[in-house]
Structure 1
Amino acid sequence: MFADDRAAIFLPERFPLRWASAWGEDEYGLWMTLELAEAQQRFRWIAPGSFRMASPKDEPERYDDEVPHEVTLSEGYWLADTACTQALWQAVAGRNPSRFQDQPGLPVEQVSWDDVQGFLGELNRRLPGLEARLPSEAEWEYACRAGTKTPFSFGENITAEQVNYHGNYPYAGGANGVYRQKTVPVGSLPANPWGLYEMHGNVWEWCADGYGDYPTTPQVDPRGAASGDARVLRGGSWLSHGRYVRSACRHRSGPGRHDALIGFRLALGPGKPAGRQSPA
């Protein structure tokens, strides 16, 4: 059933992705929902576009590896509006490795990059045609920024009411805030302008890319280093100081690392949004 009458304008009579249990359009754009057992995950359509990746040289508390460069993403993709929950992980993997297990709507954590590859393989086996994957580092930052150029999608600074981070270590002279000392349920803090939740803080999120130096020239659909022993993490966590939850901040770790700071967010595609496809 459509979320509202406007959705019928954008979606085909027969929905081409058979795994979707619901779809529609709202103030943020097109969305679709995956349902597996009792777990659900909503995805947002992220349209193609260009942006300036990394941080300008005058951004406070930036790091040297945040070399600014122009990036164009030539194809759109679907991105989960939240980090993967413990409920969805358990529905696929049959276990819950997380440290914080107060409720199934918390993000799954203590999952390595290698663990996530196994999860993706099983999810794609169960739902043929889904093409679930991790986002590239460029796709992640593009979606996190959601058209903004400031250190955060919320502006020049953040509050603990917007982001789950170590509020005793605010960003660039900001006010101290609460330090929760744990994850919060996904979707419980404000969304960014594209309807994506907790892109800043809560858990670090694995990207598909290997970590490497940024280029200085414009890039189209960039992918990170093809070799090396470190994978990219983005977004910061509940334990992170304010500088680490900026849109441009990069972190890296070996693909076998597990801890309660790290989760991930699903991407699908690349592909075209349902409203621009011919009926299957």
Structure 2
Amino acid sequence: MKQKKRNKGVRLATLMTGLLILLPLCLFAFPRVDHFPCAGEMVLVGAGTFQMGNTNNDIAAQSNEKPIHVVTFTYEFWIGRYEVTFDEYDAFSKASGKTLIPDYSAWSEYDLGRGTRPVINVSWWDAIAYCNRLSESEGLRNAYDGKGNLLDTEGKITQDITRVEGYRLPTEAEWEYAARGGENATETRFAGSNDLNEVGWYWQNSGENWLPGTDKDWDGGKIKANKCRTQPVGQKKANAFGLYDMSGNAAEWCHDWFGTYAAQDQQNPIGPKNGSRRVNRGGGWSFDAPLCRLASRSFYEPVIVRHILGFRLARTSF
């Protein structure tokens, strides 16, 4: 009897030891999601390494997606689980005494919708002003000065993203790493799937009816007639990190100036030191599928506003 009790005790101790070993693995098997007072839900992305660019030799790839290069992050960062919505941006505008931005464009000739749809018609400057306002609301050091330079925890201009405390736009590398789902994610064409219909809103599925055809059949007239538009955030399947709408819905401003990729390995990159156009990623509701690919890159002058352009938040983890 004593031997049986002893064996039972040994088995129980072994089981408990196994659980203690597995518990940390279980805790970190899925992305950590937290709710911030002003920014809402954000996902913590761990440090890691990945290959950036046209890694799958996609037939639709553009020359600016090469060369493929290795990027390493030595820090963790938070990124918005959803694109910033009209509801959120309107609250900021009212608190700042700003006129509400329109949810339409001369191109569409109809309202594109507010509420929980991603905010659009915002310039890069509008986006970083929003970031700074959130930082101030939570008692953080602003991430940007009046010229768009990054600021460190002491308020000094910096090129070291690990020292930027406040809310900001994701760097282009952060955006692609997060969209891919990290260093161990399965290779997919879009953010979380090879089928854009599963994860994103684009020209064929963002209107009142499905528009048949292929990417070669893209037609602005059909898009307007079908009343294609942005859709409420978080309606499609999330990617491996639990992020929504990284492909399609609204194209997203990134921090970086646009530039050609370097061939050598990069660590904590933030893009060129200067330029004339800022990067945006992910494609949008009126885009064809190739422009919504993980590696696809677009760019506009930072003063430009478009009915396709929105953003999501990022923040270095301290």
Scaled to the shorter chain, the TM-score interval is 0.7 to 0.9
Pick closer, same or farther for the CA change 1:158–1:57 going to 2, 3 Å: closer
With the length of structure 2 as denominator, give the TM-score of the two structures: 0.70
Pick closer, same or farther for the CA change 1:211–1:182 going to 2, 3 Å: same
Distance 1:76 1:170 in 2: 39
SS in 1 for 2:197: coil
State the percentage of identical aligned residues. 29
Superposition RMSD on alpha carbons, in Å?
Answer: 2.5
Contact 2:258 2:278 (8 Å CA) reproduced: yes
Pick closer, same or farther for the CA change 1:27–1:197 going to 2, 3 Å: farther
Displacement of 1:31 in angstroms is: 1.2
The letter of the residue matching 2:305 is: H
Q: Which residue of 2 aligns with 1:150?
A: 188
Distance 1:237 1:158 in 2: 15
SS in 2 for 1:132: coil
Displacement of 1:104 in angstroms is: 1.5
The letter of the residue matching 1:259 is: R
Distance 1:112 1:208 in 2: 12
1:1-280 equivalence runs, <5 A = 28-36=30-38, 41-56=40-55, 58-67=57-66, 68-94=68-94, 95-97=99-101, 98-99=103-104, 100=111, 102-129=113-140, 131-146=166-181, 147-155=185-193, 157-167=194-204, 168=211, 170=214, 181-269=228-316, 271-272=317-318
Displacement of 1:128 in angstroms is: 1.0
Contact 2:190 2:196 (8 Å CA) reproduced: no
Distance 1:103 1:225 in 2: 34
Pick closer, same or farther for the CA change 1:191–1:180 going to 2, 3 Å: farther
The letter of the residue matching 1:52 is: Q
In structure 2, the gaps of 5 or more residues are 1-22, 105-110, 141-164, 205-210, 218-222
Distance 1:89 1:196 in 2: 19
In structure 1, the gaps of 5 or more residues are 1-8, 11-24, 273-280
Distance 2:278 2:230 in 1: 22
SS in 1 for 2:129: helix
Higher strand share: 1
Contact 2:37 2:138 (8 Å CA) reproduced: no
With the length of structure 1 as denominator, give the TM-score of the two structures: 0.79
Larger Rg: 2
Distance 1:208 1:159 in 2: 25
Displacement of 1:102 in angstroms is: 3.6
Matched residue count: 241
